Amino acid sequence: MKHEHKPTPDSIILCQSIIKNLLHISYPGIQTTAQLIGIPVRTLQRQLHNSGITYRQLVQLTRLKMACHLIRDSDKNVTEIATALGYKDASSFSRAFKKWTNLSPRDYRQAL
């Protein structure tokens, strides 16, 4: 039986970096991310599981961080932010953002 090392925060940061760089193109699948890291999908899933997070949760967390940054530090409108985060339309992004924060993107920006 192989002993697998608990992933370092660096492996999560690397995943987030890859996800961040691919979001504007499309939803970055776990296969693509694992391939770019150079590990099998199952190994990536195990590493994330050992860190207490799923790949889907990591993508959502990355999107949330990017959304907050773009709303706070840019003049981009909701449609531009949605596109940058890989959403097909602004309403899908707005629903997701409200689910994450209990605020619409507009209300979040105004609260800042």
Using alpha carbons, select from 37, 75, 85 the residue that is nearest to residue 95. 85
> In this predicted structure, what is the pLDDT of residue 11?
77
pLDDT in tens, 50-90: 989 999 999 999 999 999 999 999 999 999 999 999 998 99
Q: How many other C-beta atoms are found inside a 10 Å radius of the C-beta of residue 20?
A: 17
**E strand map for the chain:** none
pLDDT in tens, 3-50: 444 545 677 889 999 999 999 888 899 999 999 999 999 999 999 999
**Under CATH, domain 9-111 is a member of which superfamily?**
Homeodomain-like (1.10.10.60)
> In this predicted structure, what is the pLDDT of residue 8?
55
Q: Taking the model in full, what pTM does it have?
A: 0.82
> In this predicted structure, what is the pLDDT of residue 9?
65
Confidence band of 112 (pLDDT split at 50, 70, 90) = confident
Q: What CA–CA distance (Å, rounded) separates 3 from 66?
A: 35
Using alpha carbons, select from 8, 55, 49 the residue that is nearest to residue 32. 55
DSSP character for 81? H
Q: What CA–CA distance (Å, rounded) separates 48 from 57?
A: 10
